[in-house]
Structure 1
Amino acid sequence: MKKLKLLALAFVAVTVTFTSCNDDFVNTEPLSEISQSAVWTDAALAEAFVTEIYAGFGNGGFDEQMLASLTDEAMFTHPGRGITTITESRSNPADIGWVNNTLAWATMYSRIRAANLALENLADPQFPNTNNIVERLTGEAKFMRAYFYHQLARYYGGVPIIDRAYELGEADYLAPRNTWEETVNFIVKDCEDAATLLDGKSMAAGRANKAAALALKSRILTYAASDLHDIPTAKAKSTTIAGFSNPELLGYVSGSRTDRWQKAKDASKVVLDLNRGYKMDLTAPATPPSQGTTNYMNIALARNGGETELLLARYFINTKQENGGRIGLYNGPNGYNNWAGNTPIQLLVDDYEMLDGTKFDWNNPAHAADPYANRDPRFEASILHEGSPWKVRSNANLPKDPASQIQTGSYEVIDAAGNKVTHFGLDTRKSSIEDWNGSYTGYYFRKFTDPNPAIVDQNTWQQIPWPILRYTEAVFNYAEACINLGQEEEARTWLNKIRFRAGMPAITESGTALVDKFRNEKRIEMLYEEQRYHDTRRWMIAPTTLGRKANGINIIGTLKPGKTVSVYKYSKDNYNYTYTPFLIDPGKENRTWLDKMYFLPVSQSEMNRNTKLTQNPGYPVK
């Protein structure tokens, strides 16, 4: 299948023929550029222009720093990257901190301008409309404009809606922020237009399509109906928002919230009716549990049928050596010479249920003694932990670990002289392989990492796509709307489709317990997919999620009497293990939640450039 590559615009080679020395010689166009007028007279060049707009996706979420590390999913291992500016609530207009690099205000508006240019020129095409290429490119440009505006909206609230490309010499380039409602309506309209224009079009993987447009509409309407954007609710939960003089920029100051949830439900149901879900037809949990693990891995790796989940994705080709193919290097164990970037924290691990659907509890002696046994099958597909089988170690390191298992603790072994000594795990910060790139939490990222042993993450690029929009997100949107509309049985029906696929028992809860179950289910299923940062804010539960201190696990293995082990291997027969959760040293990260972080600040440079902008609440205004 042809996959869209997000490269810089590839210009067509231009051949210039010179006849004799005449005035035409000095009027030749640059060899490395094509005029705007020429682009819109040639269908191939017009398509190349629209294709370049997709570069705004960047690497999707597959960058060295991931949005997960701004949440209770992960901790970023390396200092000085702007992560703690966010997690410690130190963001300000002069230093926002790190967020996904595809989100920068100026970057988004440059992409919006490109979409506007495309739409203006496609409105009066100067090339034949062969195979309805004009409608297709218009639909793609509409979708991309909606996508970039939705990115801005879910970080900042209402933003200036610019629906045309400014030209040189205009009297005024300043624009105030539109209200939240106006911003949402604009995005929804672009999604609807895109869905209509792309209906029936055969699109290459990686290009916007009807399903993607419908899914984006489902997402933005779900956000719009949430607590954070219902101003009466938001004011009751946040004094920072309550004291803001322009609440209409952040949400709806009036109107029916029930109507908003109904719109979200209806939009989500349209996506569900596309029947693009992977194994959503099970009537009981997948058995054995290993099948639930396999099902989840098939989705994350987009293979063996799991790729049907992808309504829109960012694809990578290993020969292009893009950063999006380096997810294993960025996050893998240091004992494999990888960088341990975005490491899972204990708060996340504890939220994986037991296989019977009950909560994990450190106060339960059986759980505490063997915390990784009998857990939700998605746990093994997502997290590398003590004893996890993994890829074969390098030839130089294999003698230290012939079993090729993750080692994140410290263990007793017997040396050549017969003395009992401590062996520090090969994947710890006291590793004999690398002692600087180890996890502080005792866990590593597995989801999205190709398990193929031929892909050596240290020096090989993988081809796992980033899921920009997938079917199961729309299922969660639908279930959330149903819960808020009091239609709990319908919500449970769809949530259990996800649960059964993963090998988990049915949800039976109601009321507040159902809300909690729903939120935890989405936390686990959509792990590391840039959902949690937005969900916890729009649900306004960030003080007890994003604001909780990050933690990890300390593991000690002591030899059982009579056992003589010279090379460590995870073994309950040879070792007694103790597992002790601990808080991360506040000198490395000291998570704090302040309500200003419900919205990011508009950068001071943008405020200086556009004096009509209004700053978000909780931030200084200069």
Structure 2
Amino acid sequence: MNFKIKHIWVGLISATLIATSCNDEFLNTQPLGQVSEAAVWRDAGLAEAFVTDIYAGLGQGGFSEQALASLTDEAIFTHPGRNINVVTEARSNPETPGWIDATRGWVNMYNGLRAANIAIQNLSNPQFENVGGIVDRLLGEATFMRAYFHQQLLRNYGGVPIADRAYTLEEETYELPRNTFSEVVEFIVQDLDRAAQLLDGHNLARGRANRIAALALKSRVLIYAASDLHDMAVASGKSSVISGYQNKELIGYTSGSRAERLQRAKAAAKAVLDIADGNMLNLTEPLAHDEAVQVYINNSLSRGGGEAEMIFGRYFLAQKPEAGGRQGLFNGPNGYNNWAGNTPVQLLIDDYAMMDGTPFDWDNPAHDAAPYQGREPRFYATFLYDGAQWKPRSPANQALDPLGQIQTGTYQRTNAQGQVVSHFGLDTRNSPIEDWNGSYTGYYIRKFVEPDPNFVDQNTWQEIPWPNIRFTEVIFNYAEACIFLGEDAEARNWLNKIRFRAGLPALTESGDDLKMAFINEKRKEMVHEEQRYYDARRWMIAPQTLGRQANGISITGVFKPGQSLSVYRYDPDVYTYSYEVIDIDPGKENRLWLDKMYWMPIQFQEMQRNANLVQNPGY
């Protein structure tokens, strides 16, 4: 961490802040279009603008062109040259860590922490009246964001130097050692308790931190802290890289009671469940299939009742074009002139159950013959698969597909001369529309993509928010704590609320079977929400999950006797379809897990700046 910065520049909504200690005569004139730092903290409106700018540290949420899902067994990134493979092939090192988005970068997070600390310092001794509780609200928001940035650092790097104040040029040293994992946890929890107190009754509108957000983030931090990866006795027994690390206190707890940590996590989650509600979580039996599909879509779009799911989100406006509003373009099918960026892998597809809750199984002849029929509702709300009904094609391509159906296979059709020829699906890498942007896996993500057919994704911006924290995550935090405390009945009660909403029957498992059911349930419900990346690590199941080679599907459609079509459409009455699971070519991506990948490396330049930093294990 390097604090050798004399001035801080922060963009405001209507002003630029300049911090300076110079007293030269010519600087006594106030520049037009700029506001001095001192003036900011004497004016409530300018102070609010400063605090608002701290939220810029959230970046695009999880809506970057490259998604964290593609660093897991959820998806694979289609395009080369983005350093995704450095991570998925376990080649990360301090000099070449691989792709790091803005929300996980060491420097970005410490820049956010500096801004939050400047706000906290000035708002702790306010120079304007606390009219309507504005001082409390702004101080609460800044304190929440300080906790949020520390939390991002903690779950990616382990213990880090705590930034509890804004450093100046008069410091004796800027080379701070890493705080222990437990010290960072306690600092974050203290900040979140303080933020919850300050924000009580404030920020009930969307997009800003509020009391519930603070309590929900606390539940995340504490359930992570109670996980296998951060209990050094447990983690050392599962990994020689961890057992041989000489600074275990930086990555977890070397003493203390794990049961007590789980009880704290349980209590933190329950505090949220007692004062907030999600969407459609009071059911006593499963929703009907079609209704369950729509409810899950609404939850991902944060509309139609799904707004109740959002605790803390990053919002977008079409009038302000940002990359986060282009998920349709980034991830949509190439046959719709989109980029097919982060495409689901077959490993994920196969984990979605049948409608009756039984597992999908390729060895079942009925499943093998029609793998996309009779699946659980979340499957249809989450993916675009071969034959799925989607939007109308662009006018230039509607003649090739008048029905707007996803085509990810190779099929027979009849040409003008009556000959049977091969037709490459419009959404494949052999597409006659855009063959360079097709999916390698045979699937596309539907979740978080605007379904309105009036949206031509490559030319319009969505207004779908990114869920930094949503209510269902807190339920999972609570259920997880209950399971590991042996309170299976309570865990099942809350997990079944999620399952009923998803149109699935109740869980009845106990013990280790319930743990596995829980892991699978969270995998499906929270897909593409940046949960799997951290969960697979902290549960220490990454060697068995993230280390598997990505795979996809190869589909062929052959005419049934006496059938023919000149323009292809998905039709089981006309075609016999066959499905073959295929591994992604290792030349495209050769996935590997090594235990150093439990944490991100502290980058070389940071280690050079600060001789007191200790590197993470395995690097």
CA distance in 2, matches of 1:446, 1:409: 18
Deviation at 1:614, TM superposition (A): 0.3
For 1:97, the equivalent position in structure 2 comes to: 98
Q: Which residue of 2 aligns with 1:447?
A: 447
**1:460 maps to amino acid:** T
TM-score, normalization by structure 1: 0.96
Deviation (angstroms), 1:9 = 1.2
Contact kept, 8 Å, 1:214 with 1:267, in 2: the verdict is: yes
Is 1:127 the counterpart of 2:160? The answer is no
Q: Distance in 2 between matches of 1:77 and 1:462?
A: 22
Distance in 1, matches of 2:15 and 2:100, equals 35
Report the CA distance shift for 1:95/1:12 in structure 2 as closer, same or farther (over 3 A): closer
CA deviations 1:409-448 (Å, max 9, x no partner) are 0000011111110000000000000110000000001001
Q: Name the counterpart of 1:354.
A: 354
For 2:317 and 2:27, how far apart are their aligned partners in 1?
42
Contact preservation (8 Å) 2:180, 2:250:
yes
CA 1:385 to 1:309, structure 2 compared with 1: closer, same or farther past 3 Å? same
Q: Deviations over 1:229-268 (max 9, x none)?
A: 0000000000000000000000000111000000000000
- Offset at 1:27? 3.1
Counterpart in the other structure of 2:21: none
> If the length of structure 2 is used for normalisation, what is the TM-score?
0.96
- 2:263 maps to 262
Deviates more, 1:222-231 or 1:193-202: 193-202
Give unmatched runs, 5+ long, in structure 1. Answer: 1-6, 15-22
CA contact (8 A) 2:57 2:109 kept: yes
For residues 328 and 246 of structure 1, the distance between their equivalents in structure 2, rounded to whole angstroms, comes to 44
Give the alignment of 1:247-396 within 5 angstroms: 247-287=248-288, 289-396=289-396
User: Which residue is 2:415 aligned to?
Assistant: 415
Q: CA deviation at 1:469?
A: 0.6
Work out whether residues 429 and 439 of structure 1, in 8 Å CA contact, stay in contact via their aligned partners in 2. Answer: yes
- Asked if the contact 1:158–1:179 (Cα under 8 Å) also holds between the matched residues in 2, the reply is yes
**Aligned twin of 1:107:** 108
Pick which of 530-539 and 356-365 moved more: 356-365
SS in 2 for 1:556: strand
Q: Give the conservation status (yes or no) of the 8 Å contact 2:313–2:466.
A: yes
Whole-Å Cα distance in 1 between the matches of residues 247 and 16 of structure 2? Answer: 52
Q: How does 1:542-581 map to 2 (within 5 A)?
A: 542-581=542-581
Q: CA deviation at 1:25?
A: 7.1
Partner of 1:232: 233
Secondary structure at the aligned position of 1:320 is classed as coil
Question: Displacement of 1:202 after TM fit?
Answer: 3.8
Distance in 2 (alpha carbons) for counterparts of 1:64 and 1:275: 32
The answer to whether the 8 A contact 2:162-2:179 is kept is yes
Q: Is the 8 A contact 2:383 2:446 kept in 1?
A: yes
Aligned 1:68-217 pairs, distance under 5 A: 68-217=69-218
Residues in 2 aligned to 1:155 and 1:569: alpha-carbon distance in whole angstroms? 46
Structure 1 residues 56-71: aligned runs within 5 Å = 56-71=57-72
Change (3 A) 1:556 1:13: closer
Alpha carbons 2:325, 2:461 under 8 Å: kept? yes
Distance of 2:438 and 2:137 partners within structure 1: 48
CA-to-partner distance for each residue in 1:367-386, whole Å, 9 max, x for gaps?
A: 11100111110000000000
Are the aligned partners of 2:154 and 2:160 in contact in 1 as well (CA < 8 Å)?
yes
- 1:50, distance to aligned residue in structure 2 (A): 0.5
Residues 153-205 of structure 1 deviation map (CA, whole Å, 9 limit, x = unaligned):
00111000020111113221110000000010001111110001101124431
**Which residue type is aligned with residue 122 of structure 1?**
L
Cα distance in structure 2, aligned partners of 1:507 and 1:307 = 27
Distance 2:161 2:239 in 1: 25
Question: Shift of residue 294 of structure 1?
Answer: 0.6
Cα offset, 1:29, TM superposition: 2.4
Conservation of the 8 A alpha-carbon contact between 1:175 and 1:613: yes
Q: CA deviation at 1:271?
A: 0.8
Q: Distance in 1 between matches of 2:306 and 2:115?
A: 33
CA contact (8 A) 1:330 1:340 kept: yes
Match of 1:614 in 2: 614
Task: Return the letter of the residue paired with 1:290.
Answer: D
Distance 1:415 1:9, change over 3 A: same
Indicate the residue corresponding to 2:598 in structure 1.
Answer: 598
2:484 equivalent to 1:481: no
How many Å separate the matches in 2 of 1:260 and 1:302? 32
For 2:255, the aligned partner's letter is S
The aligned counterpart of 1:11 is: 14
Change (3 A) 1:25 1:225: closer
Counterpart of 2:46 in structure 1 is 45
Contact 1:8-1:55 within 8 A present in 2 as well: no
Unaligned runs of 5+ in 2: 1-9, 18-23
Report the counterpart of residue 466 of structure 1 in structure 2. Answer: 466
How far residue 13 of structure 1 moved from its aligned partner, in angstroms, is 9.3
Q: Distance in 1 between matches of 2:473 and 2:295?
A: 16
Q: What is the aligned partner in structure 1 of residue 245 from structure 2?
A: 244
Native 8 Å contact 1:284 1:505 kept in 2: yes
Runs of 4+ displaced beyond 4 Å: 23-26
Residue 495 of structure 1 corresponds to which residue in structure 2? 495
> Any idea what SS the aligned residue of 1:361 has?
coil
Q: Is the contact made by 2:212 and 2:276 (CA closer than 8 Å) also made in structure 1?
A: no
Give the distance between the partners of 2:301 and 2:275, measured in 1 at CA: 22
Q: Helix, strand or coil for the counterpart of 2:50?
A: helix
CA contact under 8 A between 1:407 and 1:427: conserved in structure 2? yes
CA-CA distance at 1:32 after TM superposition:
3.8
The residue type equivalent to 2:601 in the other structure is P
CA apart distance, 1:31: 2.4
Instruction: For 2:455 and 2:563, locate their aligned partners in 1 and report how far apart those are by CA, in whole Å.
Output: 36
For residue 101 of structure 1, report the CA deviation from its aligned partner. Answer: 2.0
Partner Cα distance (1:108, 1:574) in 2: 56
CA distance in 2 between partners of 1:508 and 1:99 (Å):
40
Q: Distance in 1 between matches of 2:186 and 2:530?
A: 23
CA contact (8 A) 2:362 2:368 kept: yes
- 1:530-579 CA-to-partner distances (Å, cap 9, x unmatched) read 00000000000000111000000000000001001100000000000000
Instruction: Report the CA distance between 1:24 and its aligned residue.
Output: 7.9
Which whole-Å CA distance do the structure 2 matches of 1:120 and 1:540 have between them?
39
Query: For this pair of structures, how many residues does the alignment match?
Result: 604
Q: CA offset at residue 100 of structure 1? A: 2.6
Distance in 2 (CA, whole Å) between partners of 1:331 and 1:111 is 29
Cα distance in 1, alignment partners of residues 277 and 203 from structure 2: 16
Aligned-residue offset at 1:30 = 2.5
Q: Which moved more, 1:429-438 or 1:98-107?
A: 98-107
Q: 29-38 vs 579-588, which deviates more?
A: 29-38
